[in-house]
A = this chain, B = another copy of it.
Amino acid sequence: MIVTTETDATLRGLLRHLIDFGPLSRPELGEGVGLARATTSSLVNDLMRRGLVGEIPTPPQGRRGRPTTLLDVDDDRYASLGLEIGLDRILVAAYTPRGGQLLRVERPAEPEPGNPRALLRVAAGALREVADSVAATGRIPLGAGVCVPGLVDASSGTVKYVPSLGWHDVALRAGVADALGGAALGGSVLVDSDANYAALAERRARLRDGAAGTSLVYLTGTYGISAGIITGDRLWRGARGLAGDVGHIMLDPGGKRCVCGRSGCFETRAGLAGIVRTALAGHRRRGPARSLADAVEETVRLAQRGDSTVLDALAEAGRWLGRGAAVVSALLDPGAVVLGGHYARLAPWMLDPAREAYAAAVLTPGGEAPGLEVSMLGPWGPVEGAALSVLLALTEGSLPLPDPVS
A residues in contact (CB < 8 Å) with B: 1-10, 34-36, 39, 151, 160-161, 168-169, 213, 215, 227, 229, 231-232, 234, 236-246, 248-253, 260, 262, 323, 326-328, 330-335, 360-361, 363, 365-366, 368-370, 397
Contacts and interface: CB of A to CB of B under 8 A. Distances in A.
A240 B6 contact: no
Given A232-B236, A236-B231, A365 B334 contact: no
A171 to B, nearest CB: 14
A112 B242 CA distance: 45
B331 A246 contact: yes
Contacts of A238: 215, 332-334
Nearest to A40: B6
Contacts of A327: 249-250, 327, 331
Given A213-B239, A232-B236, A249-B331, 9 more contacts: A4-B35, A4-B36, A6-B10, A6-B39, A8-B34, A34-B397, A161-B365, A215-B239, A238-B332
A363 B10 contact: no
B252 A1 contact: no
A331 B234 CA distance: 16
Nearest to A169: B366
A140 to B, nearest CB: 25
A239 B335 contact: yes
A367 to B, nearest CB: 11
Contacts of A262: 360-361
Contacts of A244: 331, 333
Contacts of A39: 5-6
Identify the 8 closest CB pairs spanning chains A and B, nearest first: A238-B333, A3-B34, A161-B365, A243-B333, A242-B333, A239-B335, A231-B236, A248-B363
B331 A331 contact: yes
Nearest to A214: B239
Contacts of A232: 234, 236
Nearest to A255: B253
A11 to B, nearest CB: 10
A151 B364 CA distance: 11
A370 to B, nearest CB: 7
Contacts of A397: 34
Contact of A332 (B10, B243, B330, B335): B243
B6 A365 contact: no
Contacts of A8: 34
A269 B388 CA distance: 43
A249 B365 contact: no
A326 B266 CA distance: 13
18 contacts: A2-B34, A3-B35, A9-B34, A160-B368, A227-B331, A229-B332, A231-B236, A239-B334, A241-B333, A248-B330, A248-B363, A249-B327, A250-B251, A250-B326, A260-B363, A262-B361, A327-B327, A328-B331
B250 A333 contact: no
Contact of A4 (B34, B168, B239, B248): B34
A5 B35 contact: yes
A220 to B, nearest CB: 14
Nearest to A360: B262
